[in-house]
Structure 1
């Protein structure tokens, strides 16, 4: 059973917002000017409204300014995170893990020593493979995973994407919207069944290479046939 999520206190929430604010300000030069505009425009309108209809509208203007700042922070922080993630191996899996919805992510189900990797994602659209790395090397990994999975996923759709900025590649900043636009082909029950099937495939034990260790050998006489008296 999934453990319940721990409640985040108000102070921790403010600390998280401050960290996101600082990160976005360092990555995005337009962020601070946009925040200033988001504060000044609602406050200026509030002053005009307060002069005409009374100062009781000032709290409303302050709340609108805070809301505008949060909207700017949300939009620009996502953009900054996508820009920072470009070129970093493993970033695609991390982005999907933080997406809303039921996405089961297994990072680097297949990889090379050169840090080329393929991530496995299971969700309501079906099975998704995300490849990161050198296009020539990672296409081979992608082909191997597609052949391996096609034997066990049944009729579930299989999608694959090569993350990058080249031709026929998916930019990482478009990954989230691309996955969200995929059709919902499976129900929650189907996703659970598919997830269990693929986990069982990955957990299947393999015989060790070379001589069998003594502690794994059957006792002497285990296979000796008994003679009739």
Structure 2
């Protein structure tokens, strides 16, 4: 009788174990779905929070940003809506016009946000370095100036890329020329046998100077002369050159200042 009684108990224990395992898997799946939903909600909240932050910052500089965004949205939406309504139907025109209208509004906000970000740092020591920090792959940018006048705080920053060596100046055009010539003489012996060109771009609002917001575009327009491997080789040569660091004034290092990259990219 004992073996006959033990068989139903074993079967019931197996059924209970299977049921418990099934419930555990269902609970784990539900928790996983909840985590994904919370993560997605947090991403959406973070995305809209960044947009709100960029819009608020831009509006403090450009109070008409809302009108410009609305104009871009309705103009783009109107063009796509009419076009696809005539070609297909109004539903297709609506579905295609809305996203393109929103995209146009975002592009306008990004452009205005970039201009606002640069306007906030323009004229400050290290503003050129902050603009250069937005250069992407293929460019080697020094965070600190390679030459600096401690009295006037005129400075020169170094960028190495496919166009060669690019020296970016900060300071009035006439006054910074002496610093440029000294820097040229220091780098020329190293690059003399390599044929690497040396470009000088003066940042600022004066004559023959490049505004801060156009600095990166101006650098990218320079003629390409080097390959990726040659860029790395030139950077190693220049890095090996001993640099006499200029005295930094007491207090916060102005060359640590950087703009909000998220605001610049939108």
Shift of 1:119: 0.5
Q: Name the CA distance, whole Å, in 1 between partners of 2:103 and 2:220.
A: 26
Tell me: CA distance 1:90–1:60, structure 2 relative to 1, closer, same or farther (3 Å): same
In structure 2, which of residues 146, 160, 164 is the aligned counterpart of residue 109 of structure 1?
146
> Paired residue for 2:236?
196
Verify: 1:28 aligned to 2:62, yes or no: yes
Gaps of 5+ in 1: 1-8, 205-229
> Paired residue for 1:59?
95
CA contact (8 A) 2:81 2:90 kept: no
- Relative to its length, the structure with more helix (as a share) is 2
> Paired residue for 2:203?
163
Task: Compare CA radii of gyration and give the structure with the larger one.
Answer: 2
Gaps of 5+ in 2: 1-42, 245-266
CA contact (8 A) 1:96 1:103 kept: no
CA contact (8 A) 1:120 1:130 kept: yes
CA contact (8 A) 1:89 1:133 kept: no
Q: Return the TM-score normalized by structure 2.
A: 0.64
Tell me: CA distance 1:56–1:172, structure 2 relative to 1, closer, same or farther (3 Å): closer
Q: Name the CA distance, whole Å, in 2 between partners of 1:185 and 1:96.
A: 20
In structure 2, which of residues 202, 215, 220 is the aligned counterpart of residue 175 of structure 1?
215
**How many pairs were matched up?**
195
Q: Name the CA distance, whole Å, in 1 between partners of 2:200 and 2:187.
A: 12
Q: Name the CA distance, whole Å, in 2 between partners of 1:23 and 1:80.
A: 8
Q: Which moved more, 1:119-128 or 1:87-96?
A: 87-96
Tell me: CA distance 1:112–1:67, structure 2 relative to 1, closer, same or farther (3 Å): same
SS of alignment partner, residue 29 of structure 1: coil
> Paired residue for 2:114?
78
Q: Return the TM-score normalized by structure 1.
A: 0.73
SS of alignment partner, residue 167 of structure 1: coil
Tell me: CA distance 1:88–1:45, structure 2 relative to 1, closer, same or farther (3 Å): same
- 1:119-134 mapped onto 2 (5 Å cutoff): 119-134=157-172
Name the Cα RMSD after superposition. Answer: 2.7
1:57-100 C-alpha deviation (Å, 9 max, x unpaired): 43333212211112212222233334334312212122122023
CA contact (8 A) 1:110 1:141 kept: yes
> Paired residue for 2:11?
none
1:135-159 C-alpha deviation (Å, 9 max, x unpaired): 4442222111110000112310001
Shift of 1:109: 1.3
